[in-house]
Structure 1
Amino acid sequence: MLVPSVRRYRCGMPVRHAVPGDAAALAVVHVRTWQAAYAGLIRQDHLDSLDPAQREPGWRRWLTGLRPPAAILIWGDGVTPDGFVAVQPSRDPDADPAVTGEITAIYLLPAHQGSGAGRELMTAAVDHLTSAGFRRATLWVLTTNARARRFYEAAGWSADGASKVDTSHGFPLEEVRYGRTLDGS
């Protein structure tokens, strides 16, 4: 069995690499966080239809197929994840994936929001991307998600002028890209 490495940040809770056995818990975090964070921002019928049991197989496949430098880092009590951040080489056509890493998701259960755990997940993601040799990082955020945008800006990210419309959920989601340099400091 793969034993994930653990690193403690300021809040004292461990951040570690996810393993396939975390799939069910990550599906719960993903769904519950979407339902809370996107209420009023995307279609409620879509949020209501989300089911962790339906998401678990996808999480299991994703975790089984992860290859460095891609990673899912989880925050929690050491056993059950309460939040996660996903990182990988950039998927954007205007970025060199050898130079630019991407945060593809960062989610934390609502009970832990405002506790500093989100900052710890962001720090872990930036540390991971930096140690993997990336010099720049990007992430995409809903244009209307003011809370997330404030969080990213407070963490040193800024909108870089790129935008897109994601239709993968069956309806349009307007997103803006944020970026930052990774200098190892």
Structure 2
Amino acid sequence: MRIRPATIADAAVLADVHVRTWQATYRGFVPDGYLRSLDPVRWRPFWQDRLRRPEEGTATLALVPDAGDRPVGFVSFGPSRDDAADVAAGEIFAIYVLPEHWGTGGGRMLMAAALTALADAGFGRATLWVLDGNARARRFYEAGGWRPDGLTKRDESRGFPLDEVRYVLDLR
């Protein structure tokens, strides 16, 4: 596996990774009907826009197999979007790897690359938000040194509640 910057040509594949990973990861946490309604074609404009015109300081890296160039995962990151974070904080916005590639080390590679980029950009710490009940993700983050800092939030933007916990990591 290797890491490279995501390009506009990756938009359709990243939309597929995004949707398929959501469907696998969040089964049991969000309504099945919502998961079934997720459509990579509807996510393509989001990814096309994000990759064509990234917000200042943000980036998306793709995880690709050694024998190919079709991404099987991605990480997006940049300055923290969280009102409760200080200006020295970067944020991991999303990290997703297709379920058939879980346990291969790709997620760790993506995280390491993103954290290096955030530290190189001058951020002293990083934050991320994780679904409170997502034990698999929480174990992954905690194995990498991340710790919950006590902040929580409820996201009801999709018509059902998602309780999230903020994790932090010192980059110094």
The TM-score, its normalising length taken from structure 2, stands at 0.96
Q: Mapping of 1:87-102 within 5 angstroms?
A: 87-97=77-87, 99-102=88-91
Distance, in Å, in 1 between the alignment partners of 2:112 and 2:157 is 29
Distance, in Å, in 1 between the alignment partners of 2:165 and 2:13 is 29
Give ranges in structure 2 of 5+ residues lacking alignment: none
Query: Cα offset for 1:67?
Result: 4.2
> What does residue 119 of structure 1 align with?
108
Q: Mapping of 1:11-26 within 5 angstroms?
A: 13-26=1-14
Q: Mapping of 1:129-148 within 5 angstroms?
A: 129-148=118-137
Distance, in Å, in 1 between the alignment partners of 2:162 and 2:125 is 25
1:54-113 CA-to-partner distances (Å, cap 9, x unmatched) read: 10011101111114521001101351110000101001112223x100001000000110
> What does residue 96 of structure 2 align with?
107
Distance, in Å, in 1 between the alignment partners of 2:61 and 2:118 is 11
> What does residue 36 of structure 2 align with?
48
Distance, in Å, in 1 between the alignment partners of 2:145 and 2:58 is 22
Give ranges in structure 1 of 5+ residues lacking alignment: 1-12
Could you say what the CA RMSD is over the residues aligned between the two structures, in angstroms? 1.0
Taking every aligned residue pair, what percent have the same amino acid on both sides? 55
Distance, in Å, in 2 between the alignment partners of 1:95 and 1:32 is 30
